[in-house]
A and B are shown apart, each in its own frame.
Chain A
Amino acid sequence: MEHIVIIGNGISGVTTARHIRKNSDHRITIISTETEHFFSRTALMYVYMGHMKFEHTQPYENWFWKKNRIDLKKAFVQQLNHEKKELVFSDNETMRYDKLVIATGSKPNKFGWPGQDLGGVMGMYHKQDLENLEKYAPNNKVCNRAVIVGGGLIGIELAEMLVSRNIPVTFLVREKSFWNGVLPEGESAMINDHIKEHHIDLRLNTNLKEIISDTQGNAKAVVIEETGEIIDCNVVGLTAGVAPNVDFLKDSGIELGRGVKVNRLLETNVKDVYAIGDCAEQHEPIGQRRPIEAVWYTGRMMGESLAQTLCGNPTEYKPGHWFNSAKFLDIEYQTYGWVFGRKGRPEYEKHFHWRHEKENICVTIAFHNETNEFLGINTFGIRMRHEFFDKVLTEKRNVNYVLAHLADANFDPEFYKLYESEIIEKFNSENNTNIQLKKKSWKRIFSTKA
């Protein structure tokens, strides 16, 4: 029986622990300084918005850990001494391990803006950020305006949170259109409009110059780089991405890039030390994925894979086809396969775009301009079936096949209006094709299951 110590109680670490327990009797300890129990970070926003209480973000009841013999330790790891296989905590206590899993996640980026450490300046990542926000922005009397810096997923979520309490929000986005590094133009434009529809003061092509302090050391305004405009505010949200949370490993002998460097078995350069989740950085990117993937499900997958390795069944991390999802205020977004925005789009990738004439519903399908192979799909306001796209990507189907079987792919609730024929009609007229929509078939849908 080995002692496996996991630093970090996020989705990666907890998934590893659960799967180790399913497959072995190893002693498991999870260390975290953030919270006693695992919670879903993605749900923190709903606590502030009043959709949930914090306890609802915890996927397992508190008895779960003891019952499954997973020890929880609330402590901060200051130092790793891999020669002695020992961790040193901030109170100088030590803990020995046989195998160590680093799953410390991310921390919000700060780019050295003047005033970035003032009171009322915060990221939106940790439980402590939520508590901080509750302190500085409980309502629109305490917080007359908030400025959010950085147009990504966390930024728009923070904007949604503040708007839910009627706090005016100014949203500074460096790019000329929201998230256009990832989203194709039409989709990005639709989100721009939707942000404004929620009365959020969206400023595109805008950078932060500095944050101005009041006499108590709290933020009282920001200065815009381009125009020098001063915007009064009480809260500044810094949401310009996240970076691996690996500072404590600097002199440990573990090889670091931006994150902890790992191979496909998620091993670091030091024996019996592994890294997974947001803090892990692949030596070579896998497929078209980034070397660091700060995504919920990749953390989970790495945990699923590593647990096998730690239980004597060496298993490489081999994520399948790319997929993801998000929600931009009221608009749900799903993506399967690769649909590139501005950044990194291969020249063979051709796009087909359909948008509903009134509603915030649209679809972009990427396919190969010569072979017609289906490459990926983005959907906004329509839900799609993961299994369907996983299968067509594996089978390397062409775009005609995917469109003809779009009814199988639809995952919207029953009775929703279906747009498949409209989508196909537009595709046919643009591409001179004659694709006919096939009726939904349970048989085909279920044949995806092995």
Chain B
Amino acid sequence: MKTIQNIGLGVFLIGLSIFTALLFVGNYEVTPDNFKNFTSIKGISSEIFISEMESKIVGKEFSGPFSISSEVISIVNNANKIHEEKQEWGKKIWDKPHSFSYQLLKASGKGLVIENKMLFWFLTFGLGIIGALLFIIPNVITLGPKGIKNNGIYLNSATNRGWIGWFVFVYLVGFYLLLYFLPDFIVNWTYVVDPISESISGNPASQWFLYGFLYCTVMVVMGIRMYIKYRHNKYQILRTTSVLFFQIVFAFLIPEILVRFEQPWYDFKNAFPLDYDFFYSWSLDQLIASGGLGLFILIWGIVLTLVIVPVMVYFFGKRWYCSWVCGCGGLAETLGDPYRQLSDKSVKAWKLERWLVHGVLVFALMMTAVTLYAYFSGAEGVLGIKTQTIQDIYGLLIGSIFAGVIGTGFYPIFGNRVWCRFGCPLAAYMGIVQRFKSRFRITTNGGQCISCGNCSTYCEQGIDVRAYAQKGENIVRASCVGCGICSAVCPRGVLKLENGPENGRINPTDVLLGNDVDLMTLVNNNKK
């Protein structure tokens, strides 16, 4: 079994190495035809840009994406500078430089990878999947009889912030930086998923399709790991199935199929304010222009946030979303599961969490208010702040850096729910409902707690579960996403996630059940 796992690890690493090597290979040549096509689609009227491109780029072959990208970007910047000086705003190229370069490069690749997309899909994704499964599936036997198997987690450098953890951290952060800020460097990666993209949406893959596909793949493979690890725990199995379903069907397939039918790309489960650009003017315009379905999406999006989300949180707690439906939660509960113990449980971290997560919520709401005001009034902004500027700041700081680079990249260092705990505005909103008006709680089973600390250690949200359990108190916390792991790892059967009457949900106790009845009543009532 160990041998199979080692072979699996080897195969996975080969796949990962080839995937990484793809960054550096491949040739790019912008042919005159392609260039003509590109300038007309983009509606480029800058003669400076066109002539410089024609003299320096068009018809020449470049090796790797880096040199051609930097050339193109310097030509764009140069042309823009001149147009700015001359105040020729119509000629300026407004695209983000690397996105602009991405679009040019995507149509200009040559050579081995492009000609053998399926082969390279197999050598990267294929080997990765096969290797990972060979590594994971023998766990059915190696983990021994079913039950909680956290042996060695703090003795392993992958899960205890050791060198493997730091390596994964660097790799993930690097991946997100490329994905968000340097898409033209990862054109090769998008080629290998072109055939899949074309078969679903009819279009070649963008970097977002690549990300969506990779996301689903990673979740399925690591979901299989969850199924094996928690095979004795039906709550975990159903929950994992649910997040996989919503990710693959709602976040991936339906939006791509909508595109095939020339409808807006929309993820029906992605609720505002997590879906922060739902009320952006381009989004509203697009929805309004898309006829019946567009209008339905517009109404659905509003009803989802204002009615469905709070009502569901009232009945089931925010877990219905965070650990059963949400894509971010889905990745955290599959890819992130090996890192859940790394969340910070200190009171300090809790304080920081409350400032940050509610701060982001306020930021998102203010940005949306400004956006909507501008949309309906036609103004460019409010109080001299441009809508565009606020949106850009939010998109960069929250949408990309917080949710992506830190949210996922930092899994191996700060645990798997950094974004959900400290940043997600939807989680903040649901947390307020969950804390003050909900039937959900984690019930503490009388006086059975032995303060061992497994619950707190494995709480991905950094809740000090033990602090409540050892006092016989139910756990009612805004940040709890109801993953159920505290209950699973408890060796004494102390914790149970349940939805019950609001009355008695929060039960401060000093003296615990089982002790002298008079003493319990005396002390616990004095406190109230």
Interface centre among A46, A61, A305 (most CB of B within 10 A): A46
With A22-B510, A332-B492 known as contacts, the answer to whether A57 contacts B453 (CB < 8 A) is: yes
Q: Encode contact with B along A240-262: 1 for CB under 8 Å, 0 otherwise.
A: 00000000000000000000000
A43 to B518, CA, bound (A): 31
Pair B451/A59 contact, Cβ less than 8 Å: yes
A56 contacts B by Cβ under 8 Å: yes
Pair B448/A49 contact, Cβ less than 8 Å: no
A304 contacts B by Cβ under 8 Å: yes
Pair A446/B446 contact, Cβ less than 8 Å: no
Determine how close the nearest CB of chain A comes to the CB of B413; give it in whole angstroms: 16
Pair A319/B515 contact, Cβ less than 8 Å: yes
With A59-B467, A325-B492, A415-B234 known as contacts, the answer to whether A386 contacts B453 (CB < 8 A) is: no
Contacting residue for A50 out of B152, B488, B498, CB 8 A: B152
B296 contacts A by Cβ under 8 Å: no
Contacting residue for B504 out of A19, A327, A390, A446, CB 8 A: A446
Q: Which of A154-191 contact B (CB under 8 A)?
A: 164-165
Interface bin, chain A: 35 or more
Pair A413/B484 contact, Cβ less than 8 Å: yes
Determine how close the nearest CB of chain A comes to the CB of B242; give it in whole angstroms: 11
Pair B452/A40 contact, Cβ less than 8 Å: yes
A53 contacts B by Cβ under 8 Å: yes
Pair A316/B516 contact, Cβ less than 8 Å: yes
Pair B145/A330 contact, Cβ less than 8 Å: yes
Q: Encode contact with A along B326-368: 1 for CB under 8 Å, 0 otherwise.
A: 0000000000000001000011000000000000000000000
With A198-B145, A383-B493 known as contacts, the answer to whether A43 contacts B234 (CB < 8 A) is: no
Pair A334/B446 contact, Cβ less than 8 Å: no
Determine how close the nearest CB of chain A comes to the CB of B501; give it in whole angstroms: 5
A71 to B512, CA, bound (A): 25
Pair A332/B491 contact, Cβ less than 8 Å: yes
Contacting residue for A51 out of B144, B450, B457, CB 8 A: B457
Pair A386/B446 contact, Cβ less than 8 Å: yes
Chain B residue nearest to A414 (CB atoms) is B235
Determine how close the nearest CB of chain B comes to the CB of A240; give it in whole angstroms: 22
With A59-B467, A198-B145, A330-B147 known as contacts, the answer to whether A50 contacts B153 (CB < 8 A) is: yes
Pair B238/A19 contact, Cβ less than 8 Å: no
Pair A296/B150 contact, Cβ less than 8 Å: no
Pair B497/A414 contact, Cβ less than 8 Å: yes
Q: Chain B residues near A385 (CB, 8 Å)?
A: 445-446
B503 contacts A by Cβ under 8 Å: yes
Determine how close the nearest CB of chain B comes to the CB of A392; give it in whole angstroms: 13
Pair A61/B450 contact, Cβ less than 8 Å: no
Q: Chain A residues near B153 (CB, 8 Å)?
A: 50-51
A387 contacts B by Cβ under 8 Å: yes
A342 contacts B by Cβ under 8 Å: no
Q: Which of B457-508 contact A (CB under 8 A)?
A: 457, 466-467, 470, 484, 487-489, 491-493, 496-498, 500-501, 503-504, 507
Chain A residue nearest to B526 (CB atoms) is A23
Pair B446/A387 contact, Cβ less than 8 Å: yes
A315 contacts B by Cβ under 8 Å: yes
Pair B448/A320 contact, Cβ less than 8 Å: no
A347 contacts B by Cβ under 8 Å: no
Interface centre among A58, A413, A417 (most CB of B within 10 A): A413
A190 to B271, CA, bound (A): 50
Pair A297/B514 contact, Cβ less than 8 Å: yes
Q: Chain A residues near B346 (CB, 8 Å)?
A: 61
Pair A11/B451 contact, Cβ less than 8 Å: yes
Q: Chain A residues near B144 (CB, 8 Å)?
A: 198
Chain B residue nearest to A44 (CB atoms) is B452
Contacting residue for B491 out of A59, A197, A327, CB 8 A: A327
Pair B513/A390 contact, Cβ less than 8 Å: yes
A315 to B513, CA, bound (A): 16
Contacting residue for A442 out of B235, B448, B489, B501, CB 8 A: B501
Q: Chain B residues near A317 (CB, 8 Å)?
A: 516
With A56-B457, A387-B446, A387-B513 known as contacts, the answer to whether A415 contacts B238 (CB < 8 A) is: yes
B87 contacts A by Cβ under 8 Å: no
Determine how close the nearest CB of chain B comes to the CB of A319; give it in whole angstroms: 7
With A50-B156, A52-B154, A334-B448 known as contacts, the answer to whether A386 contacts B147 (CB < 8 A) is: no
B202 contacts A by Cβ under 8 Å: no
Determine how close the nearest CB of chain B comes to the CB of A128; give it in whole angstroms: 19
Pair A332/B446 contact, Cβ less than 8 Å: no
Q: Chain B residues near A61 (CB, 8 Å)?
A: 346-347
Chain B residue nearest to A160 (CB atoms) is B151
Determine how close the nearest CB of chain B comes to the CB of A384; give it in whole angstroms: 8
Interface centre among B346, B493, B501 (most CB of A within 10 A): B493
Q: Which of B96-149 contact A (CB under 8 A)?
A: 144-148
Q: Chain A residues near B448 (CB, 8 Å)?
A: 297, 323, 325, 334, 386
A58 to B453, CA, bound (A): 8
Q: Chain B residues near A164 (CB, 8 Å)?
A: 151-152
Pair B234/A56 contact, Cβ less than 8 Å: no
Contacting residue for B514 out of A46, A315, A319, A450, CB 8 A: A319
A42 contacts B by Cβ under 8 Å: yes
Pair B151/A51 contact, Cβ less than 8 Å: yes
Contacting residue for B516 out of A42, A52, A59, A319, CB 8 A: A319
A111 contacts B by Cβ under 8 Å: no
A218 contacts B by Cβ under 8 Å: no
With A304-B519, A414-B235 known as contacts, the answer to whether A59 contacts B453 (CB < 8 A) is: yes
A193 to B493, CA, bound (A): 22
Q: Encode contact with A along B230-264: 1 for CB under 8 Å, 0 otherwise.
A: 00111100100000000000000000000000000
A43 to B235, CA, bound (A): 25
A448 to B144, CA, bound (A): 40
Pair A297/B447 contact, Cβ less than 8 Å: yes
With A52-B154, A52-B454, A446-B504 known as contacts, the answer to whether A323 contacts B496 (CB < 8 A) is: no
Chain A residue nearest to B446 (CB atoms) is A386
A49 to B148, CA, bound (A): 12
Q: Which of B246-291 contact A (CB under 8 A)?
A: none
Chain A residue nearest to B159 (CB atoms) is A50
Can you list 10 contacts pairing A with B, beta carbon distance less than 8 Å? A51-B150, A51-B153, A56-B453, A56-B457, A59-B470, A304-B510, A304-B512, A323-B447, A329-B145, A390-B513
Beyond A43-B451, A43-B454, 20 extra complex contacts between A and B, CB < 8 Å: A42-B450, A43-B450, A46-B452, A49-B150, A53-B154, A56-B457, A59-B453, A59-B466, A296-B450, A297-B447, A304-B519, A308-B519, A317-B516, A319-B516, A325-B492, A386-B448, A413-B488, A413-B497, A416-B234, A445-B500
| A residues with CB within 8 A of B | 11, 19, 22, 40, 42-43, 46-47, 49-53, 56-59, 61, 164-165, 194, 197-198, 296-297, 300-301, 304-305, 308, 315-321, 323, 325-327, 329-330, 332, 334, 383-387, 390, 394, 411-417, 442, 445-446, 449-450
A-B CB proximity, top 7 nearest: A386-B446, A330-B147, A383-B493, A318-B516, A43-B452, A50-B155, A50-B152
